[in-house]
Amino acid sequence: EVQLLESGGGSVQPGGSLRLSCAGSGFTFSNYDMSWVRQIPGKGLEWVSGISTSGGGTYYADSVKGRFTISRDNSKHTLYLQMNSLRAEDTALYFCASGQWYLPDWGQGTLVTVSS
C-alpha cells in the first residue's frame, strides 16, 4: 500500500523558514516524479512545485518561485520542500503527492501557519 507521510509543518512568523518532509513507502520512490500541492482550509487546491525522478528537473508555481526549493533523497525515500521568506498567504495545508502532471497518491497533509 502506498503511503505518503508529511511532517515539518507548524507556526512561523512572516519572513521565517520551514522545511517540510514527505516520507514515501509501499512503492519504488525513485521511480516516481513527486509534487507538493497546498490548500487553504475551506478553499481550493494550488499546485506548488514538482520534481523529476532524479531531482534534475524542478518546477515551481510563480507564487513561490525564488522562495521555495523542492528536493528529494531517493536513498531515504523522502521528498522535501524548503520554504523561505514565508508570507501570510503561504498559510495552508501542504500535501505531497506522487506524480507530476497527474497525482495518483496523496498524503494527509501538514499544516503551515504564517502569522505574527
Partner 1 sequence: QSALTQPPSASGSPGQSVTISCTGTSSDVGGYNSVSWYQQHPGKAPKLMIFEVTKRPSGVPDRFSGSKSGNTASLTVSGLQAEDEADYYCSSFAYSNNLVFGTGTKVTVL
Positions touching partner 1 (CB under 8 A) are 35, 37, 44-47, 50, 59, 61-62, 95, 100-109
Angle at 51 between CA 45 and CA 54, to 5 degrees: 160
Tell me the residue length of the chain: 116
Closest distance to partner 1 from the beta carbon of 38 (Å): 10
Q: Which residue, 27 or 59, has its beta carbon nearer to partner 1?
A: 59
CB-CB contact of 9 with 80 (8 Å): no
The beta-strand segments (E) located in the chain are 3-7, 10-12, 18-25, 34-39, 45-51, 58-60, 68-73, 78-83, 92-98, 110-114
| Smallest distance from partner 1 to CB 75, Å | 26
Which is nearer to partner 1, 29 or 95 (by Cβ)? 95
Q: Which is nearer to partner 1, 35 or 78 (CB)?
A: 35
Of 24 and 107, CB closest to partner 1: 107
Minimum Å gap between C-beta 14 and partner 1 is: 25
Rounded-to-5 percentages of helix, strand, coil across the chain: 10, 50, 45
Q: Minimal distance in Å, beta carbon 113 to partner 1?
A: 18
